Amino acid sequence: MGLAHFRTCYRPAVTEALRARASIAAGRPVDIASLAVFRMLFGLVMAGSALRVLTAGWIGPMYEEPRWFFSYPGFAWVKPWPAPGMYVHYGVLLVLALAVAAGWHYRVALGLFLVGFLYSQLVDVTNYLNHHYLVVLLAGLLIVLPAHAAWSLDARAGRVDRRETVPAWMVWLLRFQIGVVYVFAGLAKLKADWLLHGQPLNLWLAARTETPIVGGLFGDPRTALAMSWAGFLFDTTIALWLSWGRTRLVAFGALVGFHGATGYLFNIGLFPVIMTTGALIFFPPDWPRRLLRRAAVRVEGAAEPPGRAARIAIGIYVVLQIGLPLRHVVYPGALLWNEDGMRFAWHVLIREKHGSVTYVAKFANGKQLEIPPGRWLTWRQEREMSGQPDLILQLARAIDRDLAARGFRDYTLHAITQVSLNGRRPAPLIDPTVDLRTLGDVGARDWVLPAPTEDPPVVEY
Q: Are 99 and 109 in contact (CB under 8 A)?
A: yes
Q: How many CA atoms lie within 13 A of 461 on its CB side?
A: 16
271 in the same domain as 369: no
Please write the tens of the pLDDT for every residue from 241-297. Answer: 999 999 999 999 999 999 999 999 988 888 999 999 999 999 999 999 999 887 777
Mean of pLDDT over the chain:
92
The residues, any chain, with a CB within 8 Å of residue 323's CB and separated by 6 or more, are: none
Q: Are 289 and 31 in contact (CB under 8 A)?
A: yes
The residues, any chain, with a CB within 8 Å of residue 333's CB and separated by 6 or more, are: 340, 444, 445, 448, 450, 451
Which of 328, 351, 374 represents a domain boundary (last residue)?
351
pLDDT at residue 296, as a whole number: 73
Using only the alpha carbons of the chain, give its radius of gyration: 25
319 in the same domain as 177: yes
The residues, any chain, with a CB within 8 Å of residue 163's CB and separated by 6 or more, are: 32, 146, 149, 150
β-partners of residue 103 are none
pLDDT at residue 445, as a whole number: 84
97 in the same domain as 156: yes
290 in the same domain as 210: yes
Q: Nearest-CA neighbor of 269 among 88, 132, 137? A: 132
β-partners of residue 368 are 362
Q: What CA–CA distance (Å, rounded) separates 173 from 165? A: 16
Q: Is 264 helix (H, G, I), strand (E, B) or coil?
A: helix
pLDDT at residue 216, as a whole number: 87
178 in the same domain as 77: no
320 in the same domain as 200: yes
Q: Are 389 and 439 in contact (CB under 8 A)?
A: no
DSSP state of 282: G
Taking CB atoms within 8 Å and a gap of at least 24, the contacts of 1-6 are none
Strands annotated E in 113-265: 165-167
Please write the tens of the pLDDT for every residue from 366-411. Answer: 999 999 999 999 999 999 999 999 999 999 999 999 999 999 999 9
Which of 165, 195, 230 represents a domain boundary (last residue)?
165
Which of 165, 190, 223 represents a domain boundary (last residue)?
165
The number of domains in the chain is 3
Any domain includes 254: yes
